[in-house]
Structure 1
Amino acid sequence: MRNSGIRVILLFCISSGILFSSPNLIAADWLKIIRSIPYSYSNGFHSNLSNIRQWVLLQNGFCEVPERHILFNYRGNFLGYIENQPEKKLTQNKLNDTRQSLQQKGKVNRWIEGRKNQTGYPFALNCNQPHADIYAAMKRLFGHDKKDRLWGTWDGMRIGTEKSPVPLYQLVEEVYKKKSSIIKQPVKASEYRHFLAQIIIESGARKNGLSKANAIGLLQLKPSVLKDCQIPQKHYRHRMAQVDCAVRLFQQNRRNLKPVFDQKFGHLPADKQQTIFSLLLVQSYHSGVGRISQLLLDPNFNQAANHFAAEHNKYSAEDIATGLIYHNLGRKKLGFASLYYVIDIAITAQKLCTQKQLSNSWVCV
């Protein structure tokens, strides 16, 4: 489920910007920075970072020219960009010079030098993400080209015909509803559209996507997971089988996460609850439901959750879901890829709802 083809491979560099006077710091000091950031700084963080991630995913804004790195601060605010250099080492040197210059200009209070295997500050993000072609993936999902439409049978289901193949998104919807009904789990619009967005981010809507970790297909399921779903090996690349297994995993995560979530956030307004829960459910698919549950209830890790539950009126639902990950980076093997994953899914779900196939459907209304 991880390391998918379209999933953004991030070059990021963090520095302290607020605490340290010397750039020559040990690698773990970026964690001290994260730990020092007040929870209140999560207000607007999702929106700020989403703006930057959209430039990368949609190849617009300051990432319209892909051979750039953009820099931003610990609140997700854009600070500037550099043009990539002919060699990685030269690009890193340029980034560090720019970091130092931003401090000298008063844009940040401190900077940290980025090096190989050490993050720096301000954060830096590479615009050049050749696998992140959201528009091409949506065309495949919606069957713009006839070659991307399909038909098939699986486990008593028949979808489309050889003469009348259907777009992938229609197949996914039918399988999602059917399998959710069988295992007696509800079908919620916000959860489903984020599930659909995962197909874009995980594989670019390609059935043959294969990661370095040997994760397969539309939702990048490992062979061991497909085996647990009792999918015969010869059907591992069958798209209906892939969706079948992913829905069961997704809904199993839902069943396990929901009571934990309700303990912490059950008092929030219903719409806000649903948005937060949908994003955490997506994060559970990426990072594991056990880890996300610990962020909510384990006293060693749930300080951020306690704050957001008590002060929820001060934050958007998206800020809360993102903040839970942001303030726990470096814990439970949560890294920046986890943070960007949930933001990228949210961006993609929003983009899907601008398309004519979904804009007026139950998924987005």
Structure 2
Amino acid sequence: MLLWCAIAIAVPTSDWKQVIRDTPYTFSKGASHNLAELRSWVLLSNGYCESPDRHVFFDQRGRFLTWMDNEDTGIETQEKLNRIRLQLHRNNKVNRWIEGSVSTVGYPFALSCDQPWVDIRGAIARVKGTAPESKVWGTWDGVKAGTESNPISLEALVKLMYQHRSSKLAEPIDTLSLRLFIGQLIIESGAKKNVRSSQNALGMLQLKPEVLNDCGIEKRFYQHRMAQVDCAVRLYVMIKRNLQPVFLSVFGHLDKKKQQALFDILLVQSYHSGIGAMTKLLTDIDMGKAARYFAEHEQEFSAEDIATGMIFHNLGRQPWGWESLYYVLDIMIVSKSISAHKK
């Protein structure tokens, strides 16, 4: 994935994990909103992240605590981070503080505003076809999208292929909105075609070669935009088929509106983390503790808080890292920005 920003200090230790383990499940109420606000500052370079040379601090509820300007060197910046952590503790803003370094995560948690690989506005311009030479055309599976002389926006091309593939399936993806799908491809690749991740995921929807092969797509078309959409929609069908019975065994008692909202979030999360990891998050003896708590006390939490809480309380347990926590939050932020762009 291209758009992930890291916690200011990236290598986890038992100390920061203990903060997570000690956090009461009740602290997840409102955490999704709190974290989404921080992430929007980072992704959109606004709020306290209007300058990239800053860090923002937050607690185990995801609440913003303060911000700081970076120093001239990494070492000096780390020293300042720790001084502020200590001061926040002394001022009773947090109940503990943990010193961080270039190789250990500290607490309160700190998020860097400097994300040079993040360009949400540029990606939206590519999707909308307003960036120079960003309009596209192509054919796939009998579908013709624009022409070389009259290209269309990437958004229109994706919509055309998304609806075509969905209409051909016995089990259409009726739970995943096109708006979220487009937000996802921005988070996955910045809406760029010829992208390869360090994990060998390819194209604008970051699909593994084995997945593309399972979709019957020849190697020369692996990064074809319409082929990517085609394969991603079919992948979602498989994820939905496997996730639904497990999900209903835990959250089947929720009212239909909240149940649908939570399922949609976990469906998108499963695209990123894998259906096996999501199954463990819902049912494992240890990892599933959070899910069981939220299922029992679901009236106290929104669907977004439940999904965020399930991951937050398992941070540091494979494969759940900070990027997993932010994944769907970022997609929703981008989706809202796309809608605002239309207006």
TM range (shorter): over 0.9
Q: 1:158 aligns with which of 136, 140, 144?
A: 144
For 1:194, the aligned partner's letter is L
TM-score if structure 2 supplies the norm length? 0.94
- Offset at residue 93 of structure 1 (A): 1.1
Equivalent residue, structure 2, for 1:326: 312
The Cα offsets for residues 176-196 of structure 1, whole Å up to 9 and x where unpaired, read as 222233332233364433222
What is the 5 A alignment of 1:264-275? 264-275=250-261
Distance change in 2, residues 1:13/1:103 (3 Å): farther
Contact 1:52/1:78 (CA < 8 Å) preserved in 2? yes
Q: 1:110 aligns with which of 96, 121, 136?
A: 96
Equivalent residue, structure 2, for 1:82: 68
- The CA distance in 1 between the partners of 2:253 and 2:87, in whole Å, is 46
Q: 2:6 aligns with which of 10, 33, 54?
A: 10
For 1:196, the aligned partner's letter is I
For 2:192, the aligned partner's letter is R
For 2:321, the aligned partner's letter is G
Could you tell me the percent identity over the aligned residues? Answer: 49
Distance change in 2, residues 1:145/1:103 (3 Å): closer
- The CA distance in 2 between the partners of 1:130 and 1:343, in whole Å, is 19
- Offset at residue 347 of structure 1 (A): 1.4
CA RMSD of aligned residues (A): 1.9
Contact 2:173/2:237 (CA < 8 Å) preserved in 1? no
Distance change in 2, residues 1:233/1:190 (3 Å): closer
Are residues 1:217 and 2:213 paired?
A: no
Equivalent residue, structure 1, for 2:23: 37
> Unaligned regions of 5+ residues in structure 1, if any?
15-25, 360-365
For 1:71, the aligned partner's letter is F
- Offset at residue 13 of structure 1 (A): 5.0
> Unaligned regions of 5+ residues in structure 2, if any?
none
Equivalent residue, structure 1, for 2:117: 131
Contact 1:180/1:251 (CA < 8 Å) preserved in 2? no
Structure 1 residue ranges, 4+ long, deviating more than 4 angstroms after superposition = none
Q: 2:224 aligns with which of 238, 242, 258?
A: 238
- Offset at residue 169 of structure 1 (A): 1.3
TM-score if structure 1 supplies the norm length? 0.88
The Cα offsets for residues 11-47 of structure 1, whole Å up to 9 and x where unpaired, read as 3459xxxxxxxxxxx9212222211111111000000
The Cα offsets for residues 44-67 of structure 1, whole Å up to 9 and x where unpaired, read as 000011111110001000000111
- The CA distance in 2 between the partners of 1:188 and 1:275, in whole Å, is 12
The Cα offsets for residues 301-336 of structure 1, whole Å up to 9 and x where unpaired, read as 211111111211111111011111111112232111
Contact 2:272/2:324 (CA < 8 Å) preserved in 1? yes
- Offset at residue 157 of structure 1 (A): 1.6
Aligned residue pairs total 342
- The CA distance in 2 between the partners of 1:146 and 1:163, in whole Å, is 15
- The CA distance in 2 between the partners of 1:187 and 1:148, in whole Å, is 28
For 1:173, the aligned partner's letter is K
- Offset at residue 346 of structure 1 (A): 1.9
For 1:11, the aligned partner's letter is I
